[in-house]
Amino acid sequence: MSQLRFRFPLLMTALVTAAVFMAVPAASAKETVPAKPVTDLAPGARSAILMDADSGTVVFEKNIHDALPPASITKIMTMLLVMEAIDQGRLKLTDKVQVSEYAASMGGSQIFLEPGEQMTVDDMLKGIALASGNDASVAVAEKLAGTEEEFVRMMNDRAKELGMTDTKFVNSNGLPASGHVSSAHDIAVMSRELLKYEQITKYTGLYQDYLRKDSEKPFWLVNTNKLVRFYHGADGLKTGFTSEAKFCLSATARRDNLRLIAVVMGEPNTKTRNAEVSHLFDYAFAQYTNVPIYKKGDAIGTVKVEKGTKPELPLVAKHSYSILLKKGEAGQGIRHELVLDTSVKAPIKAGDLVGKLVVYRGDKLLKEFPVESPLSVDRAGWWTLFRRSAGQLFLSK
């Protein structure tokens, strides 16, 4: 498929100049990533990864594709499907979730839901994010999909869409089950996707809160992720522990414009787990910075849609676009280009790829970001196409 390319220089101030239509010089076949540290930054972990949340650049990795039991880190995918349903209008935070006997029967960490009890989606998210409620996870799964089994199918479908090839979910909460596995890489990928919903840190970043606050039996929640209280900038995401998985954590922290994701699996205890995640964060915050290209909501460009009910679509940044660079390198010869497919034909769905945003330093490729259609566009009827063609013919004379 042929493509149109638009080049944009990126200044030290990260301001974008006017677009210029021009040829593109040769680029390297593989995107450039920062050099990774030689030493093991997480010696106690069975596997680990450190990633820039905006660009997806991996700064440190250790056995990142080993398929391991993820324990309650599983709930990141559960929360992701909830946030996507809210974003799509299929669910509201104020909706009531009625608890089934099956959901209430979950063991392990729980918020002690009673069969028949009703709780809002908002409170269920608190129960999942802070207290790692196995019962709350099943309750919202049944609310969204009817049964946990159907919800698990949705989880695995979404994992496949995200390229999580090391993952297979068997339940919605991470309780021990044969064949229920994921990897540090895949957990970082789904964590990055969840963080695109900025409001999620309203839940994962809380240290404590209450459920049933106005009832006779208020339930005190304390976040199982102690880093949100003790590490500067930490505001999520999810802990996990079973005797098989050992101590696991997918954590995120933000300072200035740099947000990081650190995942460790198979740690021997909580002290080592928290110390090694803190060490990973310390390393990246000391060494790297983020150079912004577009902020969420910025106009990126326009794509033409052949034979669509809309002849063209404005492209807007659905999330922030930035690249990770070593401190001292930021802005040196950085430029970016919008490369659009020249034959985007209706019908298209919201989220379909229509091009990519390519970032270079000089002639060296640094990063490629997919650019998606913000809206669905149906194929236009023959009368609409006739009027459009007639109008163009008239204007050309």
C-beta separation of 66 from 184 below 8 A: yes
The dihedral region occupied by 79, where left means phi > 0, alpha psi between -120 and 50, and beta the remainder, is alpha
The structure tokens listed for 149 are: 């089994």
Within a domain: residue 388? no
Give the model confidence (pLDDT) of 48-97 as tens digits. Answer: 999 999 999 999 999 999 999 999 999 999 999 999 999 999 999 999 99
Of 101, 98, 97, nearest in space to 115 by CA = 101
Instruction: Say whether 132 is catalytic.
Output: yes
Q: What is the pTM of this model?
A: 0.85
Q: Work out the average pLDDT over 365-379.
A: 87
The residue among 239, 255, 290 that closes a domain is: 290
Say whether both 92 and 234 belong to one domain.
yes
Q: In this structure, is residue 35 part of a structural domain?
A: no
Check which CATH number belongs to the domain holding 129 and give it.
3.40.710.10
Nearest partner of 54 among 292, 227, 287, judged by Cα: 292
Give me the mean pLDDT over the 254-262 stretch.
Answer: 95
pLDDT of residue 17: 33
The mean pLDDT value for 32-36 works out to 64
For 180-235, write each residue's pLDDT tens digit.
Answer: 999 999 999 999 999 999 999 999 999 999 998 878 778 899 999 999 999 999 99
**Going by C-beta distance under 8 Å and a sequence separation of 6 or more, which residues neighbour residue 334?**
9, 10, 291, 323, 359, 360, 361, 366
Final residue in a domain of this structure, among 272, 290, 308: 290
Q: In what order do the strands lie in the sheet with 234-242?
A: 58-62, 47-52, 258-267, 246-255, 234-242
**Residue 329 covered by a domain:** yes
Give the per-residue pLDDT at 244.
96
pLDDT for position 390: 61
Q: Say how far apart CA 371 and CA 334 lie, in whole Å.
A: 19
With both helix axes pointing from N to C terminus, report the angle between 148-161 and 134-145 in degrees, rounded to the nearest 10.
Answer: 90
The verdict on 228 and 246 lying in the same domain is yes
| Cis before 218? omega within 30 | no
Q: How many Å apart are CA 203 and CA 123, to the nearest integer?
A: 9
- The string of DSSP codes covering 224-269 is S-THHHHSTTEEEEEEEEETTTEEEEEEEEEETTEEEEEEEEEESS
**94/184 same-domain check:** yes
Residue 33 within any structural domain of the chain: no
Q: Are residues 248 and 338 in the same domain?
A: no
List of E strands, 155-242:
208-211, 219-222, 234-242
Least confident of 100-109, 180-189, 229-238, 388-397: 388-397
Is 320 catalytic? The answer is no
Residue tagged active-site, from 47, 55, 72, 278: 72
The whole-chain average pLDDT of the chain stands at 87
pLDDT of residue 81: 98
**221 shares its domain with 343:** no
230 and 307 housed in the same domain: no
Are 158 and 247 members of one domain?
Answer: yes
Residue 334 pLDDT level (bands cut at 50, 70, 90): confident
pLDDT reading at 387 higher than 80: no
Last residue of a domain, one of 266, 290, 314: 290
Q: How many domains does the chain have?
A: 2
Active-site entry in 47, 55, 100, 132: 132
137 is catalytic: no
Q: What per-residue confidence (pLDDT) applies to 352?
A: 87
Mean pLDDT of 349-358: 89
Q: Give the CATH number of the domain where residue 11 resides.
A: 2.60.410.10
Q: In this structure, are residues 47 and 266 in contact, taking their beta carbons and an 8 Å threshold?
A: yes
Residues 6 or more apart in contact with residue 159 via CB below 8 angstroms: 77, 167, 169, 186, 190
pLDDT at 277 (0 to 100): 98
Q: Are residues 366 and 260 in the same domain?
A: no
Q: Report yes or no on 155 lying in a domain.
A: yes
At 342 the pLDDT is 79
Contact status, residue 295 vs residue 54, Cβ threshold 8 Å? no
Q: Angle 134-145/75-87 helices, nearest 10 degrees?
A: 40
- Out of 11-15, 274-278, 317-321, least confident range: 11-15
% of the chain surpassing 90 pLDDT: 63
Least confident of 131-140, 164-173, 228-237, 298-307: 298-307
Size of the chain in residues: 397
pLDDT score of 356 = 92
Residues 52 and 17 reside in one and the same domain: no
* 145 and 264, same domain (yes or no): yes
Please check whether residue 288 is in contact with residue 258, taking contact to mean a CB–CB distance below 8 angstroms. Answer: yes
pLDDT: which is higher, 196 or 363: 196
**Is residue 310 a part of any domain in this protein?**
yes
Q: What is the pLDDT of residue 4?
A: 62
The verdict on residue 283 lying in a domain is: yes
Is 196 among the domain residues?
A: yes
Q: Are residues 325 and 220 in the same domain?
A: no
> What pLDDT, on the 0 to 100 scale, is given for residue 388?
55
Q: What is the rounded average pLDDT of the residues 346-350?
A: 87
134 token code pair: 């196995």
> Which class for 178: exposed (0-12), middle (13-18), buried (19 or more C-beta within 10 A)?
exposed
Domain carrying residue 260: 47-290
Tell me what the mean pLDDT of segment 347-364 comes to: 88
70 and 205 in a single domain? The answer is yes
Cα distances (angstroms) measured from residue 385 to each of 58, 313, 342, 347, 381? 47, 17, 19, 14, 6
